[in-house]
Amino acid sequence: MTDTLRATEDTAADPGPVPFLDLAAQQAEVADEVLATWQQQLVTASFIGGVEVAAFEREYAEYIGVEHCIGVGNGTDAIELALRAVGVGRGDEVILPVNTFIATAEAVSRVGATPVFVDVDDEHLLIDPRAVDAAVSERTRVVIPVHLYGQTAPVEAIESIARRHDLIVVEDAAQSQGASSAAGRAGALGRVAATSFYPGKNLGAAGDAGAVLTNDAAVAGVVRELGSHGSRVKYVHDRVGGNSRLDSVQATVLRAKLRRLDGWNANRRAAAARYAELLADAPGVRIPVSRPGNTDVWHLYVVRVDERDRVLDGLAAAGIGAAIHYPVPLHLTGAYRDLGYREGQFPIAEASSSRILSLPMSPHLSSAQQERVAEVLRDLTSAGAAAT
């Protein structure tokens, strides 16, 4: 029996506090393997680039199904470098869903372009292709479908729109390592993709890290230059770049975890199926469903409930870690007030933002822990239903 499978078994009748994400259990699985390589790196002083980085880039490219993987400093840099590499800059517009982490929009702003927000579909809270089509203008250069919560966004429909309008598709694959649709794996569906290896991701480093993925050799070359001060050859700088490189310490962790990723994702799918069974008839709880053709990796398990804040407080009081992804749609944040959007403009994202609740989810979540989460959640939502 593998350590991963053993970790999901019940160990006691009372599971005690349930963490939102058990990162310590993940690190424990890879600790011996990682520490041995880190010791060698201390001896060789191989910290930037080197064999571990090159090996991870090769292995992750093969895993996703693309020709090129370029490791960078973090996921936000990955989106920015991808946009810069395809020529996005001042005066351009980039369409993206309003229900995403702000980093997606930040990267657009950082290259001097303007984020254009669109609503999501009510079933999966993924970017709505119809909204994308309606938002295209003569200044639109790129569409960023976000593979939110471990799903794969409807890139096939987005690509069809992009072809009609001569646009570029840049995937935000930060939450979807290993997810796929009928068309292929997330990260291999557009012209270029960006991903994050923030520690809490399905494939997480021991600090910040990210990568850009593409089949376009020219784009890959520009990304690598931009992340290394605009240089291919030391002290020869052909363009203005920056410093955003994957280091060998993080690459070592990522290589060890990549070998376990499919097993961990399978555990997440089993946990999602268990939640769906436990919460199938829970009053006032709307459980998530997969988009047809998708194999989701359940980075987050997001339900929708009435009186969400009361329920969240009740879960916390019971020792259950839960979170909100994301409480404020981007058009209502102070950072993007100057874009002129108004409340009510994106009704699905706005309505869902007051109801969404992310339950504990990890490869090491036990069935006893899930039963405890479901029991407390049922009690809280039942009390709310009775009060009304």
Q: 265 falls in which pLDDT band (50, 70, 90)?
A: very high
| Mean model confidence pLDDT for the chain | 94
Closest of 69, 74, 111 to residue 94, by C-alpha: 111
Dump pLDDT digits (tens) for 292-348.
Answer: 999 999 999 999 999 999 999 999 999 999 999 999 999 999 999 999 999 999 999
Of 35-39, 198-202, 294-298, the poorest mean pLDDT is in 35-39
Query: Residue with structure tokens 């605009």?
Result: 230
Between the alpha carbon of residue 261 and those of residues 10, 85, 203, 255, the distances in Å are 22, 29, 7, 10
Question: Quick one: 123 and 37 in the same domain?
Answer: yes
Q: Determine whether 257 is an active site residue.
A: no
With a cut of 90, say whether residue 384 has pLDDT above it: no
Domain assignment of residue 25, yes or no: no
In which domain, by residue range, is 369 found?
3-19+262-387
Look up the CATH number of the domain holding residue 123.
3.40.640.10
Q: 151 falls in which pLDDT band (50, 70, 90)?
A: very high
Spatial contact of 292 and 182, defined as CB atoms under 8 Å apart: no
* Gyration radius from the chain CA atoms: 21
Kindly name the residue from 124, 141, 185, 201 that is annotated as catalytic.
Answer: 201
The residue among 254, 286, 305 that closes a domain is 254
Dump pLDDT digits (tens) for 207-226.
Answer: 999 999 999 999 999 999 99
Tokens of 271: 């946990």
Which segments of the chain does DSSP mark as H helices, in order? 3-7, 23-44, 51-64, 75-85, 102-110, 129-135, 155-165, 217-226, 248-278, 308-317, 347-353, 367-387
Q: 13 falls in which pLDDT band (50, 70, 90)?
A: low
Domain assignment of residue 307, yes or no: yes
Q: Residue 40: what pLDDT?
A: 80
Question: Quick one: 162 and 52 in the same domain?
Answer: yes
Domain assignment of residue 42, yes or no: yes
Question: Quick one: 281 and 195 in the same domain?
Answer: no
Domain assignment of residue 128, yes or no: yes
How would you write 107-156 as a 3-class SS string? HHHHCCCEEEEECECCCCCCECHHHHHHHCCCCEEEECCECHHHCCCCHH
What's the rounded Cα separation, in Å, for the pair 366 and 170?
36
Spatial contact of 16 and 367, defined as CB atoms under 8 Å apart: no
